[in-house]
Structure 1
Amino acid sequence: MDSPVPPHPSEPRPRRRDRHGRGMRGPVAPPQVPMSASRSETFRDLVQDSVERLERRWPQLADVDFQVLDVPGTLGDTVPLGRAVSAEKGQPAQIVVYRRPVEIRTKSRDERALLVHEIVVEQVAELLGLAPESVDPRYGQD
């Protein structure tokens, strides 16, 4: 005699990851936690913090375009950490900070923040035709 064959469901049951009643799995860290920020995003934040610090004293910096690039385009004998480009017809003034050369020269986030601020101050001073000490009185004291 043939034994009855149980009917197969037409769709497989969905697998659930709610083992042991602990809830569904989610991301390791929510997006607002610093752990989920990439190195380039963290570096941009350092540059932005420095710019905001200087804009309080120098409102004309609102017209300057601040950029972060990974590395300078052409490498000579020395690798620049930043560059200032004066405004031209239809183009705003630009200040560029190069991320990788700065990261190579620093070991911690605090060192990186200090170096980024020095670079931004030096480039702003060059753009405005002033001494770095007049752009930020605390320049070189940290």
Structure 2
Amino acid sequence: MVSRRGRAPRHATPGARRPNRHDRHGRVGRSAVVRPPIGPLETRFDRFDIAVGAAAEFLRSAWTDLRDVSFEIASMPPESDADGIPRWHIDRDARRIVLYRIPVERLGHLHRDDDLHRRMAVEGTVFRAAAEYLDRDPWDLGPERFRYF
């Protein structure tokens, strides 16, 4: 059998087999057009960080006492205390509030497990930690923010 180009195709030789790396047209396999799939662009840590940052910016804009306070995120507290596993730690001397991501995410009780309620739980934790820092009630920190709910 002769092809249109005037030579016999490679696979037409009796006993010869194509290597497995060739496709059905006898061509060598090509690389993929796109890269391998990348991981999620937004992880749980990213969502937690965004929620903490948004709540902290709101509180800093509303309360001048919080403008120089740094809100930091740590995975776990170094140790538990008599009340159980803490959700945050306040260091007034260093003007710092440290929020512990894993206890906030895993030990919180949500009545509906979706993105909105998880974010509200994180923001509520930020408000409670800031209220403890200021020695106020959490509802006093942002009454306008919750006026419509």
TM range (shorter): 0.5 to 0.7
Which of 60, 63, 88 does residue 55 from structure 1 map onto?
60
What is the distance in 2 between the residues matched to 1:85 and 1:69? 14
The answer to whether the Cα contact below 8 Å between 1:66 and 1:95 also exists between their aligned partners in 2 is yes
How far is 1:15 from its partner? 6.5
Gaps of 5+ in 1: 1-13, 19-23
What is the distance in 2 between the residues matched to 1:123 and 1:85? 11
2:135 aligns with 129
What is the distance in 1 between the residues matched to 2:57 and 2:36? 32
1:95 aligns with 97
Name the TM-score, length of structure 1 as normaliser.
0.67
Runs of 4+ in 1 over 3 A off after TM superposition: none
Gaps of 5+ in 2: 1-27
The answer to whether the Cα contact below 8 Å between 1:125 and 1:132 also exists between their aligned partners in 2 is yes
Q: Across the two proteins, how many residue pairs are aligned to each other?
A: 115
Q: Which one-letter code corresponds to 1:130 in the other structure? A: R
What is the distance in 1 between the residues matched to 2:42 and 2:104? 18
Which of 18, 41, 45 does residue 40 from structure 1 map onto?
45
- Residue aligned with 2:90, SS: strand
Name the TM-score, length of structure 2 as normaliser.
0.64
What is the distance in 2 between the residues matched to 1:54 and 1:47? 11
The answer to whether the Cα contact below 8 Å between 1:102 and 1:112 also exists between their aligned partners in 2 is no
Which of 76, 79, 82 does residue 85 from structure 2 map onto?
79
What is the distance in 1 between the residues matched to 2:36 and 2:64? 41
What is the distance in 1 between the residues matched to 2:36 and 2:56? 33
Q: 1:25 to 1:121 in 2, by over 3 A?
A: same
What is the distance in 1 between the residues matched to 2:135 and 2:81? 25
**RMSD of equivalent CA atoms:** 2.6
